[in-house]
Amino acid sequence: GNSVTQMEGPVTLSEEAFLTINCTYTATGYPSLFWYVQYPGEGLQLLLKATKADDKGSNKGFEATYRKETTSFHLEKGSVQVSDSAVYFCALSDRGNQGGKLIFGQGTELSVKP
């Protein structure tokens, strides 16, 4: 079945460091891919998305490129801030306009130190 695998956390970085959180997926067909972020005590917020191969999603300095050949959707940011400390979830949706459920990775906790 469809699945998402993320790198394990926690990831601890200093402010202004480069961030990569790896995400790979297994899916039949052509899923849409998402990154969600969960700040402490809050719900899941959509960070960015990509709906087809080679699409790049970007938001708030974060980027991820849909790589069909490597079945990956790695999250990157050039310079992290303390306020980026949160749990990041990679997810896929495989039913298109039929109201597709999201399948999540296990989440990666990011802690950014001043």
Partner 1 sequence: EPEVTQTPSHQVTQMGQEVILRCVPISNHLYFYWYRQILGQKVEFLVSFYNNEISEKSEIFDDQFSVERPDGSNFTLKIRSTKLEDSAMYFCASSLQGYQPQHFGDGTRLSIL
Q: Are 35 and 93 in contact (CB under 8 A)?
A: no
Q: How far is the CB of 104 from partner 1 (least distance, A)?
A: 4
DSSP state for residue 60 in the 8-state scheme: T
Residues 91-110 that bind partner 1 (CB under 8 A): 91, 93, 95-107
Q: Are strands 32-38 and 108-113 parallel, antiparallel or unpaired?
A: unpaired
- Interface with partner 1 includes 31 (CB under 8 A)? no
Residues 41-80 that bind partner 1 (CB under 8 A): 41-46, 49, 51
Phi and psi torsions of 2, nearest 5°: -70, 145
Nearer to partner 1, 2 or 85 (CB): 2
Candidates 8-16, 19-27, 71-79, 90-98; binding stretch for partner 1 (CB under 8 A): 90-98
Residue 25 class from Cβ within 10 Å (0-12 exposed, 13-18 middle, 19+ buried)? buried
